[in-house]
């Protein structure tokens, strides 16, 4: 449960338990009739859906109204326009996941300058400072996630082999940290492994970029993909080519979890805790709106998932029983 990474300004992480709401805090928040907007990089991934559920549920408990959930579809133009519009609508707070580090910085900075509380998820645009331009960053320990993914893949890599790393072609703190950690762990623990890197500009092209990496590199023995949604496209491309290649990735999305349980290309998943992260972001917003101080960076540890613990991990992350696709893949049958 240790946080191994550092924040975007080199800060040490505070655990989510540092941000708590007492019953009297919740009652006070209810009297304020707070209005909060959520601005997401995407709302289509399993991770994003769970995060929003965590935010909305906790805000509802505190009597805060979610006035809008914006899907930016990974577009900086859409995010900038949404933030500018919301600034005019003057909600009490905005929770935002910036789509990159540069182009959306000014639009985010303008939010706090108008007096609207701003909590960031996973990413801090360049030049923005906690306590000045935003309240807190609430994220996973992305460095730790990359480290876990490297550990999972390592046992499937022969001596003196080559591993592929499929990263994200954008300046994005969370993805950057995962790549750095993966490479660093391999350099220390598997110096015999050569790492070849490629990056996808969009999720729709991730599979093609992975194919190009595999075709251009002789004898790749395994692959790390920085999160699950592009990894799904990679798996589909490999399936069409009837190519078996061990893959580790991040996030316990439905398709990669089923693939892991059924003995497919996925051999391990480094999972975030999106529902708990969403609840923590909501608690942070409420705490700041009650005029109390918040940590600069709150981080949640990753969860190491393999075929040996995938069912209980699924139940914990998804908050419901594992579907038959997962149970049947692991030969879990009903007993009287």
Res 330 pLDDT > 70: yes
Concatenated DSSP letters for 181-227?
A: HHHHHHHHH-TT-EEEEEEESSGGGHHHHHHHHHHHSTTEEEEEESS
Domain boundaries, the chain: 16-139+274-300, 142-272+304-329
Fold that domain 142-272+304-329 belongs to in CATH: Rossmann fold (3.40.50)
How many CB atoms neighbour CB 206 within 10 A?
Answer: 26
Phi, psi of 193 (to 5 degrees): -90, 130
Distance, CA of 271 to CA of 255 (rounded, Å) = 14
Q: How confident is the model at residue 333 (pLDDT cuts 50, 70, 90)?
A: low
Q: Would you say 252 and 137 are in contact if contact means Cβ atoms under 8 Å apart?
A: no
Name the β-bridge partners of 299.
139
Res 187 pLDDT > 70: yes
142-272+304-329 has the same fold as 16-139+274-300: yes
pLDDT at 265: 96
pLDDT at 5: 82
Give this prediction's pTM. 0.90
pLDDT at 8: 87
Cβ-proximal residues to 184 (8 Å cutoff; 6+ apart), any chain: 147
Distance, CA of 184 to CA of 50 (rounded, Å) = 30
- Token look-up 């965590």 returns 54
Res 304 pLDDT > 50: yes
**Sheet-wide strand order for 247-250:** 194-200, 162-168, 220-225, 247-250, 266-271, 303-305
The CATH architecture assigned to 16-139+274-300 reads 3-Layer(aba) Sandwich (3.40)
pLDDT at 329: 75
pLDDT digits (tens, 9 = 90+) for 199-222: 999 889 999 999 999 999 888 999
């Amino acid at each position: 449960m240790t946080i191994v990474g550092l924040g975007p300004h080199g800060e040490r992480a505070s655990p989510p338990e540092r941000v708590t709401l007492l019953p009297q805090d919740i009652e006070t928040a209810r009297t304020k009739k707070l209005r909060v907007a959520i601005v997401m990089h995407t709302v289509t991934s399993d991770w994003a859906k769970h995060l929003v559920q965590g935010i909305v549920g906790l805000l509802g408990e505190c009597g805060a109204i979610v006035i809008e959930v914006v899907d930016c579809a990974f577009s900086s133009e859409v995010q900038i326009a949404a933030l500018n519009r919301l600034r005019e609508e003057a909600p009490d707070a905005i929770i935002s996941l910036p789509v990159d580090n540069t182009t959306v910085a000014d639009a985010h900075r303008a939010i706090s300058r108008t007096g609207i509380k701003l909590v960031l998820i996973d990413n801090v645009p360049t030049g923005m400072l906690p306590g000045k331009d935003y309240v807190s960053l609430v994220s996973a320990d992305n460095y730790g996630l990359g480290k876990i993914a490297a550990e999972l893949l390592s046992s499937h890599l022969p001596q003196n082999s080559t591993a592929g790393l499929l990263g994200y072609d954008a300046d994005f703190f969370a993805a950057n940290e995962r790549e750095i950690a993966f490479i660093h762990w391999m350099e220390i623990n598997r110096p015999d492994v050569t790492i070849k890197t490629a990056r996808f500009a969009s999720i729709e092209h991730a599979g093609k970029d992975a194919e190009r990496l595999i075709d251009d590199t002789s004898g790749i023995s395994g692959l790390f993909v920085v999160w699950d949604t592009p990894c799904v496209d990679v798996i589909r491309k490999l399936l069409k080519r009837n190519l078996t290649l061990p893959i580790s990735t991040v996030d316990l999305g439905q398709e990669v979890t089923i693939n892991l349980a059924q003995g497919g290309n996925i051999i391990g998943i480094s999972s975030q805790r999106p529902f708990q992260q969403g609840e923590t972001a909501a608690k942070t917003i409420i705490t700041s709106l009650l005029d109390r101080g918040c940590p600069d960076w709150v981080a949640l540890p990753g969860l190491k998932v393999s075929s040996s613990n995938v069912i209980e991990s699924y139940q914990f992350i998804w908050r419901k029983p594992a579907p038959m696709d997962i149970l049947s893949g692991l030969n879990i049958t009903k007993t009287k």
